[in-house]
Structure 1
Amino acid sequence: MAGNDKTAPLVDPAAVDFEKVYRDGTLADGIAMDKPPWDTGAPEPILVRIEQAGRISGEVLDIGCGPGDNAVYLASRGHAVTGLDVSPSAIEQARSRAAAQHVRVEFAVADATDLAGYDNRFDTVISSLLLHCLDPQQRSAHLAALTRVTKPGGRLIMSCFPDDSPTVSLTPYPIGEAELRRSFPPPEWAITTLRQDRITGGTLPEGVLDLVHDRGIQLEYDANGALLMAAWILEAEKARPGEGTRP
């Protein structure tokens, strides 16, 4: 666990094994949980609004899909969806949830920093609360992979935790606005939306809650008791060949 620096991650991100998180609920030494705090059992409300606004189309990738709730929701809306995650246990849970909802999703285990075999395949790519889990080297590889798998003219929809939130210590590798803008430069990408909003989460493990209280961090909850956390919401479009610099 981290020291007394109130901006340092509460849990050493390098020590987190996401397969153990999904397999037996172990986030770190001494911190166990029934399920990950990002597993709410429902699609992210912001993504629901984006889909209902018509900004998801064609073949869809949900990278870092976890237990699959976003992917299952999108499939229930008639989209052709592929859900990928590095954790085999997460993919097992996602397949079970898709079967329970009687929807078809192509789930597979994959490394988000590679995504070999998926080049130029997807019209819409969803990267939900993944980028801030990657260290700088992994992040660079992930962004390159996203660019490869997104078709020209395709759309990327991303959420990640910022570096200026009161709950920054709950974030493994928080991200600033300048870095996000540098990550999707013109003419290859055109950012159409970049704003902060609130995303919903589940219950934090008891050990993490104790550390949160010790640091004096004030958590925010919605009317239903769901945890609310600040997040960047980014939408960007990949240029088609010959489009040149875009506004």
Structure 2
Amino acid sequence: MTDKDAGPGTFPAAIDYERMYRGEELSPGVAIQRPPWDIGRPQPLLVEFEQRGRIHDDVLDVGCGPGDNAIYLASLGYRVIGLDVAATAIGAARSRAAKQGVPVSFETADATLLVGHDGRFYTVVSSALLHCLTPEQRRAHVAALTRVIKPGGRLIQFCFTTTDCAELYAPYPISEETLRSTFAPPNWSITMLRPDRLTVEPDETMSERFARIGFRPELDDQGALLLPVLVLEAQRI
């Protein structure tokens, strides 16, 4: 899939994330009780990267949602800022951080702009964000990442990839070809690109959508779904 043929499939392409986090209807009769990426714990893929020593210095969690990844990293001593477009998500993140006594800065921000953070971060983590952006938004987002990551810094990113059933849970699934062309010289060098699985907690709407076509993803040992993603680590040149 390339920019010209990316499309929304059967998953809603235009989502008001503020309404979604409030549990309000996204369209008549359609509401999401809990975003599937809100698993109530840090994403296991991110934990793996941290344990392998791939995260350093000041960290930006872009599209942080309710903040579990950012809180996890901050609890280990990293200086972390979490950004999300939805004010309700940021409010939830601040509440979770306060309950755990972990110092994290959470701010409402547009991922296609990232104003005020130029050259600030050595590590940026991005979990389940890129496939939510249209091709136009994606280009603006990558340009913003290019500004905020220090030369020599890295992006660690997990995004849903193009599979037979990806249209059931991702607005704009991303192919390996697209990632390789997006994170290319002169601004980027890909140091890792591999398939893996993202841990998600489906709500009733997603579960019903899967059941209608007989899609049965693997489960982890806590009963959460494991959905195909591409794991990218790219260095800012």
- Please, what TM-score do these two structures have when normalized by structure 2? 0.93
Indicate yes or no: 2:157 matched with 1:145: no
Q: Which consecutive aligned stretches of 4+ in structure 1 deviate over 4 angstroms post-superposition?
A: none
* 2:171 counterpart residue number: 172
Task: Give the structure with higher Rg (CA).
Answer: 1
Corresponding pairs, count: 231
Q: 2:214 aligns with which of 207, 216, 230?
A: 216
Indicate yes or no: 2:20 matched with 1:21: yes
Indicate yes or no: 2:95 matched with 1:96: yes
- Letter of the aligned partner of 1:196 in structure 2? P
> SS of the counterpart of 2:65?
coil
For structure 2, list consecutive stretches of 5 or more residues without a partner in the other structure.
1-6
* 1:11 counterpart residue number: 11
Report matched runs for 1:103-114 at 5 Å.
103-114=102-113
* 2:225 counterpart residue number: 227
Contact kept, 8 Å, 2:195 with 2:229, in 1: the verdict is yes
For structure 1, list consecutive stretches of 5 or more residues without a partner in the other structure.
1-6, 240-247
CA distance in 1: counterparts of 2:46 and 2:92, whole angstroms: 20
> SS of the counterpart of 1:38?
coil
1:216 Cα shift?
2.7
Write the deviation string for residues 202-239 of structure 1: whole angstroms up to 9, x where unpaired: 123x2332222222322221222111101110001111
* 2:4 counterpart residue number: none
- Letter of the aligned partner of 1:231 in structure 2? V
* 1:68 counterpart residue number: 67
Cα distance 1:97–1:47, how it changes in 2: closer, same or farther (>3 A)? same
Contact kept, 8 Å, 1:198 with 1:230, in 2: the verdict is yes
CA distance in 2: counterparts of 1:27 and 1:228, whole angstroms: 25
Indicate yes or no: 2:168 matched with 1:182: no
Cα distance 1:133–1:36, how it changes in 2: closer, same or farther (>3 A)? same
CA distance in 1: counterparts of 2:154 and 2:236, whole angstroms: 6
1:186 Cα shift?
1.8
Report matched runs for 1:29-68 at 5 Å.
29-68=28-67
Output the aligned Cα RMSD. Answer: 1.5
